[in-house]
Amino acid sequence: MSREFDVVVFGATGFTGRLVAEYLQEQYDTDVSWAMAGRSQDKLETVRDEMGVSKDIALIVADSSDPASLEAMAARTKSVCTTVGPYQLYGDSLVEACVKAGTDYVDLSGEPPWMVDTIAKYSEAAKASGARIVHSCGFDSIPFDMGVYFLQQHAIAHHGGACSKVRGRVRKMKGTFSGGTAASFGETMKRAMKEPQVLGWLKDPFSLVPDFTGPPQPTGHKPIEETDLGSWSAPFIMASINTKNVHRSNALLGHLYGEDFVYDEMVLTGPGEKGKAAAEYVAKDDSMAKNPPKPGEGPSKEERETGFYDVMFIGDAPDGKRIIAGVTGDKDPGYGSTSKMIAESALCLAKDISRDDTPGGVYTPAPAMGSAIIDRLVANAGLTFKIES
């Protein structure tokens, strides 16, 4: 595909969009061809100058309410990286523009009902045009989707096949969830009040896998003691979207993990009475719902730089061996690491993944990019993927 740009960052004047642009500037400068896009030329120029971005970086005026501007933008680039959410409010017209142009697309969506919509509306058209539409390319759900994929690739290569059950457990995490995540949750709840089937989609771990019903899955809604891990575990707020994405990945990979695959996610809180009390506190914590961060706002640079996360994945392989894989990130999950993950995802599609390997369609990260995105994240974005045992 011959296009003017490898990547266009749409929403480059917003909080997360600025971080994506900053990352591309610092990591790649003009070694890759990229552009900043947003609603206002003046604001784009201001942000570019404030951040010290090279004036060789093109600025593109495009607006979610102006489909023609989105189509013109999509036609100029190999991939579009969008941070403009909630996607159920602002994403549909951009997906449509990218599908029409055969342009790859990555977002930070953690909005299952909207993803159900895009799968139904755009899968066939994306296959026809060659556009790869890849949702959830931030903290939800790359460390989790790719962590499971990484573990399963190891199990298949070294232990006789995939693990039929995997547990994702957050061992440590420092940082905040984004205002966009909170706004997306709010819009999803509004829609659920109007459309009863949406509640069913939110509850169903297989709602992103049309025409498939898998085995019963752990809910992860209550604290549990996991004696084999030496810890209590508490509900994890991102599990609802991550588990759905992992099951969609499994399906798109031809049920590589098996049609009987079971997966859940929780947060480790430690052993004994102290761990139990911590798990019960986490389970009751509703601070995000009562006092969510606002879109467009976020942590300071120091807070982003000192943030981190550490997730482990536990699977029992067919040969009886237990496999533990670890995934870590060196910045706060909601902003610092997320901005790097989505940027690398856009570049991975534009530069590494041929349409022979991944044809057009609506994807999750693992089947779209496979090991190529893991290699990029380890080399450039401060993530680690390790088999620990």
Alpha-carbon Rg for the chain, nearest whole angstrom, is 20
221/329 Cα distance (integer angstroms): 25
The end-to-end CA distance of the chain, in Å, is 42
pLDDT for position 186: 80
Average pLDDT, the chain: 94
Classify the phi-psi angles of 150: left when phi > 0, otherwise alpha if psi is within -120 to 50, otherwise beta: alpha
What is the spatial distance between Cα 91 and Cα 114, in angstroms, rounded to a whole number?
9
pLDDT score at 178: 66
CA angle, 241 then 229 then 148, to 5°:
35
Contacts of 113 by beta carbon, 8 Å cutoff, 6+ apart:
88, 188, 191, 192, 195, 198, 201, 202
> Model confidence over 327-380: pLDDT tens digits?
999 999 999 999 999 999 999 999 999 999 999 999 999 999 999 999 999 999
In 10 A of CB 157, how many CB atoms?
Answer: 9
Among 43, 19, 91, 94, smallest CA distance to 297 is for: 19
The set of residues, in sequence order, having a beta carbon less than 8 Å from that of 342 and lying 6+ positions away, is 20, 81, 83, 106, 107, 108, 137, 138
Order across the sheet with 383-387: list the strands.
Answer: 224-226, 231-235, 262-270, 165-174, 308-316, 322-329, 383-387
Burial of 110 (0-12, 13-18, 19+ CB in 10 A): buried
Count other C-beta atoms under 10 Å from residue 106's C-beta: 33
- The span from the CA of 123 to the CA of 251, in Å, is 14
pLDDT tens digits, one per residue of 369-389? 999 999 999 999 999 999 999
Residue 296: its pLDDT value, please?
Answer: 66
Above 80 in pLDDT, residue 301?
A: yes
Does pTM surpass 0.75? yes
Asked if CATH classification 3.30.70.260 holds for the domain at 5-138+337-381, the reply, yes or no, is no
Reported as a single tens digit per residue, the pLDDT across 129-169 is 999 999 999 999 999 999 999 999 999 999 999 999 999 99
Is the pLDDT at 35 greater than 90, yes or no? yes
Please say if the pLDDT value at position 294 is more than 90. no
Comparing CA positions, the residue from 366, 381, 251 lying closest to residue 313 is 366
| Residue 1 predicted with pLDDT over 90 | no
What string of H, E and C letters represents the secondary structure of 256-268? CCCCCCEEEEEEE
Strands (E), 258-337: 262-270, 308-316, 322-329
pLDDT band at 109 (very low <50, low <70, confident <90, very high): very high
Q: According to the model, what pLDDT value does residue 4 have?
A: 97
Distances in whole angstroms, Cα of residue 206 to Cα of each of 113, 250, 286: 12, 11, 26
The model's pLDDT over 205-264, given as tens digits with 9 standing for 90+, comes to 999 999 999 999 999 999 999 999 999 999 999 999 999 999 999 999 999 999 999 999
Q: Start-end ranges of CATH 3.40.50.720 in the chain? A: 5-138+337-381
Tell me if the bond preceding 141 is cis, omega within 30° of 0. Answer: yes
